[in-house]
Amino acid sequence: MVCYFSGTGNSHRVAKQIVQRCGDTLFSMNQSLKAGAEESLHSEKPFVFVTPTYSWRMPRVVEQWMKKTTFTGSKNAYFVLTCGDECGNAAPYAKALCEKKGFTFLGLAGVVMPENYLAMFPTPTKEEAETILAASVPRIAELASIIAQGKSFPIISPSLIDRLKSGPVNPLFYTFMVSDKGFAVGDRCVGCHLCEKRCPLNNITMVENKPHWNGNCTHCMACICGCPVQAIEYKKKSKGQPRYYIMENEKD
Ligand SMILES: Cc1cc2nc3c(=O)[nH]c(=O)nc-3n(C[C@H](O)[C@H](O)[C@H](O)COP(=O)(O)O)c2cc1C
């Protein structure tokens, strides 16, 4: 079973490609989180968790979701982290979680995808994104082949910098960066409710037909990047920047 969490569609796309290549089933953590469901998942095939990289680790919301979810059937778990650049030393944290859940950790591998972190970094143009997406296909095929054969992903030795980024920097990132206070909506908003519908944490409510953020945000960028009229900004960072959003119908 391939379980994905995705703010702007990269991890959804990677998860779907793994499903196609391995003949597996797809499970949406987005929908599960949105429903606030206590899940009990069964799979005879390995569990494959596909998520974005947030501050050189799996997103905290995914770790929390995994902790409260019951998994039965296969004891094997793989982690595929999509990233704009690299996922640092994310592996030991996923491995520690596996130990708590009774999983055998079969590795964590990164897939470079277009950068979506508009609140911090420039995002690619459509052309640049297409080049990166095309380059990701053989990498995803390579990982799917390893999964289909039941082998472990190759182990990569982390540098000291990687350890620091995934270690002490990660909690500082959540404390100082991850807040919805920087989001604002402008006059272009047409009140379509898409931001409210897509927020995986139900953090957006519509007040006078405009989004209002309620303080439980994981910075997934779904609201700002997915807005069809680019009515949402994050401080001054997002002004004039392209929006990167490839999330398709989640039931695909
Ligand atoms: C909050 C946040 C933190 C991020 N941190 C990293 C990071 O540490 N390393 C990296 O290479 N990319 C980082 N990125 C980029 C995303 O991991 C990358 O674009 C990912 O493919 C987005 O996946 P999604 O479209 O499924 O949400 C970050 C993005 C966000 C929104």
pLDDT range class, residue 67, cuts 50, 70, 90: very high
What single-letter DSSP state applies at residue 167? I
Return d(Cα 235, Cα 214) in angstroms, integer: 17
pLDDT range class, residue 250, cuts 50, 70, 90: low
Would the CB of 13 count as within 6 Å of ligand 1?
no
Question: How many Å lie between the centroid of ligand 1 and the Cα of residue 60?
Answer: 13
C-beta separation of 223 from 204 below 8 A: yes
Question: How many Å lie between the centroid of ligand 1 and the Cα of residue 51?
Answer: 9
Per-residue pLDDT, 249: 78
Question: How many Å lie between the centroid of ligand 1 and the Cα of residue 73?
Answer: 30
Would the CB of 17 count as within 6 Å of ligand 1?
no
Determine the atom of ligand 1 nearest the C-alpha atom of 247. Answer: 25
Overall average pLDDT of the 48-68 stretch:
98
The pLDDT tens digits for 203-212 are 999 999 999 9
Report the SS3 class of residue 37.
Answer: coil
Per-residue pLDDT, 222: 98
Return d(Cα 97, Cα 90) in angstroms, integer: 11
pLDDT range class, residue 215, cuts 50, 70, 90: very high
What percentage of the chain carries pLDDT values higher than 70?
Answer: 99
Would the CB of 59 count as within 6 Å of ligand 1?
no
Which residue has tokens 């053989």?
Answer: 138
Per-residue pLDDT, 97: 98
Give residues with Cβ within 8 angstroms of 199, minimum separation 6.
34, 220, 222, 223
Pocket test for ligand 1, best of 16, 30, 53, 178 (most atoms within 8 A of CB): 53
The pLDDT tens digits for 94-107 are 999 999 999 999 99
Per-residue pLDDT, 252: 53
Tell me the pLDDT of the chain averaged across its residues. Answer: 97
Report the SS3 class of residue 51.
Answer: strand
Tell me which residue of 34, 45, 66 sits closest to 204, measured CA to CA. 34
Return d(Cα 23, Cα 26) in angstroms, integer: 10
Determine the atom of ligand 1 nearest the C-alpha atom of 114. Answer: 19
On the question of pLDDT at 72 being above 70, the answer is: yes
Query: Residue 13 corresponds to which tokens in the numbers above?
Result: 């796309």
Return d(Cα 242, Cα 26) in angstroms, integer: 30
Per-residue pLDDT, 37: 86
C-beta separation of 48 from 34 below 8 A: no
pTM metric for this prediction: 0.98
Question: How many Å lie between the centroid of ligand 1 and the Cα of residue 83?
Answer: 5
Determine the atom of ligand 1 nearest the C-alpha atom of 112. Answer: 21
The pLDDT tens digits for 32-55 are 999 998 999 999 999 999 999 999
Per-residue pLDDT, 169: 98
The pLDDT tens digits for 73-100 are 999 999 999 999 999 999 999 999 999 9
The pLDDT tens digits for 105-126 are 999 999 999 999 999 999 999 9
Kindly list the distances between the CA atom of residue 90 and the CA atoms of 79, 97, 227, 251, in Å, as whole numbers in the listed order. Answer: 10, 11, 30, 29
C-beta separation of 224 from 230 below 8 A: no
The pLDDT tens digits for 130-148 are 999 999 999 999 999 999 9
